[in-house]
Structure 1
């Protein structure tokens, strides 16, 4: 979005301007989520079509308008190493991290399951289909953007990385289309997609904190578990997530390294959370699958997921660039240890005593199956 603001209004993409834009956007996302489920549902439907049509428009423009493209061989095999490391396999593994970072958020279907019709089928299907569609659409989009790079030399790629817009793809649009107006339009499509993703993130995050609060899993649960009678939304949880997001992003104003450590922990934490139930499911032979599942592929996919997450967690804590200095050091391992220790301390000091104690959810989960069916 800063690239769009730079091209349209001449806003310089600095940490300060980026932070202010972030605050404005997340407050808007908080307001949208506060107004009610119907608005979020409508915008979610718009978001789905926006992403599909938007990708088609961007891909079409990048193949029709440029006067030249990189060939398939260059697009798939050209190697640019900006890490400072000379060991090729290690550099390749570091390159996986950006792709891995983007494959998050598909758990949102689970977080809004209570607000979904036929959730036992719709929620898991939504998780799987979001990944499948992202793979296909994302691959086509990335291939098109990469092939549209006009100067494929190392100097040309370095120029993209140092673009005044602050965003290499924005510079690719400008160079390839040779039409500033069209480039701005494509960036507008990208900004719209980012806006909808941000809205969905606040929705999923607030529902997750609300669910934890119902189980007395976080401090101040009584406050965050309240539902606004007028809007039917967990308003307190929504704004808790908004405020905490702003606090966690604040280090970016002063130190990019600290901010990257926070985001790395977020990704590592997400994948640990994703794979833990998968791992436990594989160990529990008495587990009864839901009405929509992967059938005989469940075990294969499950164990592949476990092994893959272990691999990428290791990658996320390794130093991505060389030389290693106080500014380039990967502080994610330190942050992960701090978060883990804090979680353990809070569990024994607070959570072990209060988690699911005297809560409606706890009582619900202890009911016999026939009682659940009667409900």
Structure 2
């Protein structure tokens, strides 16, 4: 096959970047194109994928999406029950510090993987490439499905909490109004439809919307951090530090230490959105640097500002039991009414509602990119439909629609009561962190020389930081499944259903693997033309001089991960 001068340059440009990615392609396989590639296209081609999205996300707009997904203010409002209800104010402030230390380790390890493999598949791709020979497809299967379960439950759980806050605001202004489960379900459905419509817009519009939303999130959080201490009607204004930091109000049947660990549920659920830059990396310019920076920035800024919010609430709350058991059914609204005049409380609740809308939107965008990436590798039934990129918007509209429909179906749990719908929060916390843990643990304990560090990396400390993150997840796995009470007090209404709602689907996924999927699922599917040609044997191509030997034919191959990585 004749290679013109421009194509030779293209091949050489790829070779110059080959050491900067950890790819499913075997060493020496050179992606074959007939045009000049920029740096971002060279990276995605090196990973085995065509450039299909417009790269209209920057570091700032990528951070904005992930910070919107993090949604500190609405996330804190939605999970206040776990932080405050299990161990009181001491559990809140100490629990957040301890949990965030280890969560930051996970975020930095994920950022290192993202720099080496900036694809929409994210953790799924990393698990497939880094796993020991023979285990790549299974590692990708587990990681992908766990991440998918966490992603598709994120928007429904956020939108349910958002609908509950809106209706709680209605109850505050009109005490005679009592929201019904049907009204909550219908409002949640409407919000999800709106989010699906926005997520289907062109990439540039989605980036702009999330940029505005995230900017509002940050400003609203700052306003709340100032307004609550300044506007509280408490007398005295603040609880003494000795009580805030030193008195654990254990409302579980477990020892104080375990009760504090149980408060981590709220931290984990709140801080589970920083993986979004990984999934948006194919739409981000300078992805192997900007995307990992966005991951670390989201986790760091979110962790610090979240802790400030914990402190504000811990120093001002008067009666924890009254907040948790309020008839409003929304602890955040109950807390605001307890410490502030009604108008001020409604104002802050309104800011929280707007932030919650932005958060749900970010969740929908991130989930659609995950669904698209997995469908691209034929993980799902009817993958040919879900992996299509809309020709007008250049976004995965079909994947958005699928996620919205599944989300609306899941929110039917609202009609079964608060315990049933609470299962969505349980899935989100445990599913995401297990998906985070699998590729990081493989990188720490099994990777050998299959990992090439990207331009953003942790140097010699990568394995130690990753090890701390993995240890934290292993510790939290059983904690996330504990109920708050034991013995005769434990009934269906107080049961922790995490093991059922997460373990049940994952058990079916594992059975599916051994019964059928292992015969056809091979992990990430290469969809670029590439020539098998070892880099170290490639002759120098001088300008205007053709190579003396014939290049091998370029082919489009669907390779097994085992073949690619062994």
| TM superposition shift of 1:257 | 3.3
Query: Which of 314, 331, 334 does residue 171 from structure 1 map onto?
Result: 334
Alignment counterpart, residue 208 of structure 1, candidates 337, 347, 370: 370
Superposition deviation, residue 199 in structure 1: 0.5
- Name the counterpart of 1:158: 321
Deviations 1:164-200 (A, max 9, x none): 432222233223232x222212111111111111101
CA RMSD of aligned residues (A): 2.4
Which deviates the most, 335-344 or 303-312? 335-344
Determine helix, strand or coil for the equivalent of 1:362. coil
Determine the structure 2 residue equivalent to 1:309.
473
The residue number in structure 1 matching 2:460 is 296
| Aligned counterpart for 2:379 among listed residues 188, 202, 217 | 217
Q: Which of the residues 100, 109, 124 maps onto 2:277?
A: 109
Q: Tell whether 2:414 aligns with 1:246.
A: no
Query: Which residue number corresponds to residue 36 of structure 1?
Result: 202
Q: Which residue of 2 aligns with 1:73?
A: 242
Deviation at 1:266, TM superposition (A): 3.4
Highest relative contact order (Cα 8 Å, sep 6+), 1 or 2? 2
**Closer, same or farther: CA 256–310 of 1 in aligned 2, 3 Å:** same
Structure 1, unaligned runs of 5 or more: none
Aligned residues: 363
Q: 1:86 to 1:319 in 2, by over 3 A?
A: closer
Aligned-pair CA distance for 1:343: 1.0
TM-score (norm 1): 0.89
Equivalent pair of 1:121/1:292 in contact (CA under 8 Å) = yes
Cα distance, 1:5 vs. partner? 3.4
**Closer/same/farther in 2, CA of residues 229 and 72 from structure 1, 3 Å limit:** same
Deviates more, 1:33-42 or 1:85-94: 85-94
What CA distance in whole angstroms lies between the structure 2 residues aligned with 1:352 and 1:208?
A: 21
For the 8 Å contact 1:209–1:224, the answer to whether it is kept is yes
Task: Please give the TM-score of this superposition, normalised by the length of structure 2.
Answer: 0.60
CA contact (8 A) 1:13 1:165 kept: no
The 8 Å contact of residues 216 and 356 in structure 1, kept in 2 or not, is answered as: no
Contact 1:356 1:362 in 2 (8 A): no
Matched ranges for 1:122-201 at <5 A = 122-149=290-317, 151=318, 156-178=319-341, 180-201=342-363
CA offsets per residue over residues 293-344 of structure 1, 9 Å max, x none?
2223312210011111111111112223232223322232234442233112
User: Equivalents in 1 of 2:196, 2:396: separation in Å?
Assistant: 11
Aligned to 1:284: 447
Range 222-231 or range 158-167, more displaced: 158-167
Show structure 2 runs of 5+ residues with no match: 1-161, 536-553, 555-566
> How far does the alpha carbon of each residue in 1:28-62 deviate from its partner, in whole angstroms, 9 at most, with x for none?
10010112212210122112211221111111111
Q: Which has the larger radius of gyration?
A: 2
- Cα deviation digits, residues 209-228 of structure 1 (max 9, x gap): 10111100111101101111
Match of 2:224 in 1: 58
Offset from partner CA, 1:197-251 (integer Å, 9 cap, x none): 1101110111101011110011110110111111111111001111111222222
